[in-house]
Each structure stands twice: as structure tokens, then as C-alpha cells.
Amino acid sequence: MNKKLIALALSAAMSITSYADTTLVATALENDDVKAAKIAFNELSLEEKQSIEGKILSGRILLQKDKTEEAFDYFEELRDDHTENIDVNYYLGVSAVIMAQKASIFSKLGYAEDFLEAMDKTIKLNPVHEDALNTLIGFHLGAPSIAGGDTDKALTYAKQLQSFNKEQGYEQLANVYWQIEKADLAEQTLLEGLKEFPESAALYLTRASAYIKDEAWKKARIDLNLAIKHAKDNEEKSRALYQQGKVSAESRQEIELGIESLIEAIPLADEQYKPWAEYRLVQLYIHNKELDKAQSYIANINVGEDDDLKSKIKKLKKKLKKLIS
């Protein structure tokens, strides 16, 4: 009897240790620290690495290292043996949608189909999977119908999201209503949301984005100030600060405020927003006739694979060159 108890205790201890170790890998990935994730993963036992959790982490590391095609093939093969695993389906969908953006025109539709199949399976297995629902909403709002984009589905998913996360639901419902040109419904949705969540930086930022699109600069500034005030983390704060800078760049008003906002945003921004914040800062330095600063910043922007940003920076470099010469 005592031996049995000891064996159970040892098994429990090993299970706890394993959970803690794999959690270190997952935490590093959530923090976009692929180097730390790889180190933590290498410290796992062979049994942990070969477990389904370990295999999923290995695939996520491939995604973080931008080895997207390899990650897609990896998760596709993993899905064959684990068709009912939520995370396997989800990360297969993530890799597919990234490939759809990177692939040639002949392959895009195939990857889009793979994405929809994987994400639909994910929310079938877990109807309250926030990341999957948000990704599906974004896809259906942005993709053309030939690739499977469907605003009716986006609306359905937004309502599904609102059923368990009301704040995010209000935000996504407003996005859908704007996309289908029902601005009154979008504004009404956000008013209801802000009445229920008066300190929601996300809702203020969503409304500010609509004001920016309409060039209602003063209204946008008011909401952006509230978004900055109520930001719950660096990600929300950096995005609101970025939008402040964008407003200054596009309106050519309150240039100094825009510069200050972007300088504050850049150290807080993630990999997606940082180069855009630097691009907007260069715009503002040019507006402010600080050409030396503009030249210094534009030379060090890490564009990555963002074709839109590459094109904008290329044009800005030509403009800057003419101004300096």
C-alpha cells in the first residue's frame, strides 16, 4: 500500500514538473521571445517533447521563427493523427492564413480553404475560442468572396463572441456594421458598449479608428486620449499612441503631439506596429522640417515582409531625397 502511494506521489510530482516546464515554453511564445522558448523547449524531456503538447509547442516555435510553410506542413500532418485536438486545428488555421498572405495567386485560395476548414473545426470543438473567432471575423471582413469572405458569417461570429465576451463582442459587431456600411448601427453598438464598459480602451480605439477614416480629427483625438488613459497594457497603449501619431501625420495638425506620441509608442510596440510607428515618425519629422532626424530614422526601419509598408517607405525615401538635395 505504501509503495503504491509513493508511486502515485512520484507520478503527480513528475506531472507537475512537466506542466511547469511546458508552461515556460508557452509563456515565452506568448511574449514573442522565440529564443527563450527554444531554450526552454530543449530542456524538456524526450517524453515531454513527444507528447501532443510538446509537438504543438514545436510547431508554434516554427511559426514564431517565421517558418510558416514548414509549420503548415507540420500541423497538417499532426492533424491527421489528432483530428479532434483544438490547438492542432487552431495553429493549422493560423499557419494557413499566413501562407494565404504570402503565397502566389495560384495558391492563395487553397490556403484560404485550409484556414476556414481548420478554424471552423476549432470553434466546433470549442465554441468559446476567442482567438479563433476573432481571426475568423477578421478574415471574413477582409477576404473577397471568391476566397471565402462572408460578412454574414462575420456577423454571426461577432454575436457568438459577444455571448461570452461582451466587450470584445461590441468591438467586433461595430467593425462588422462599418464594413457592411451600417454606420448608425456601428455607432449605436459602441455607445451601448461604452455605457457598459466606460473604461474600455479597445472600444474608444475602435471608434477613433472610424473617426480617422472620416477625417473627423477632433473626435478621434478625444477618443484616443481616453484610450491611452484607460489602456490596460502596453499593447493597447502603444496602439492608441500610434493612432495619435497617425492623426498628426495625416491631418498635418499638432505635429509635436504626434512626435511625442510616437516616441512613446515605439518602445512599447510589438513587431507589427513598431515599423509603422517609425514610418509615421519620419513623416512627422519631414512635416516639421527636421530632415536629418527623418533621414536617420528611415534608414533603420525593419520593414520585414510587409509589402504595403515597403511601398510607402520607398515613396517616402524618394520624397526625402528630393527635399535634402
Distance CA 201, CA 300 (A): 31
Distance CA 243, CA 237 (A): 10
Q: Given this model, what pLDDT does residue 270 score?
A: 86
Q: Determine, yes or no, domain membership for 230.
A: yes
Q: Determine, yes or no, domain membership for 106.
A: no
Please enumerate in sequence order all residues whose Cβ is within 8 A of that of 68, keeping only pairs 6 or more positions apart, or say none: 62, 95, 98, 99, 102
Q: How many domains does the chain have?
A: 1
Q: Given this model, what pLDDT does residue 6 score?
A: 37
**1 secondary structure, DSSP code:** -
Q: Determine, yes or no, domain membership for 313.
A: yes
Please enumerate in sequence order all residues whose Cβ is within 8 A of that of 200, keeping only pairs 6 or more positions apart, or say none: 167, 193, 194, 230
Q: Given this model, what pLDDT does residue 19 score?
A: 46
Q: Given this model, what pLDDT does residue 39 score?
A: 92
Residues of the domain holding 283: 199-325
Q: Given this model, what pLDDT does residue 95 score?
A: 96
Q: Given this model, what pLDDT does residue 11 score?
A: 40
Residue type, 106: F
Q: Given this model, what pLDDT does residue 3 score?
A: 41
pLDDT digits (tens, 9 = 90+) for 110-167: 999 999 999 999 999 999 999 999 999 999 999 999 999 999 999 999 999 999 999 9
Rg of the Cα trace of the chain? Answer: 23
DSSP structure string for 92-151: HHHHHHHHHHHS-HHHHHHHHHHHHHHHHHHHHH-TT-HHHHHHHHHHHHHS-GGGT--H
Q: Given this model, what pLDDT does residue 103 score?
A: 79
Spans of the chain below 50 pLDDT: 1-20
Q: Given this model, what pLDDT does residue 150 score?
A: 96
Q: Determine, yes or no, domain membership for 113.
A: no
Q: Given this model, what pLDDT does residue 73 score?
A: 96
Q: Given this model, what pLDDT does residue 289 score?
A: 94
Q: Determine, yes or no, domain membership for 303.
A: yes
Q: Given this model, what pLDDT does residue 275 score?
A: 93
Distance CA 277, CA 257 (A): 14
Q: Determine, yes or no, domain membership for 42.
A: no
What CATH number does residue 222 fall under? 1.25.40.10
Burial of 63 (0-12, 13-18, 19+ CB in 10 A): buried
pLDDT digits (tens, 9 = 90+) for 175-205: 999 999 999 999 999 999 999 999 999 999 9
Distance from the Cα of residue 165 to its chain's centroid: 18
Q: Determine, yes or no, domain membership for 262.
A: yes
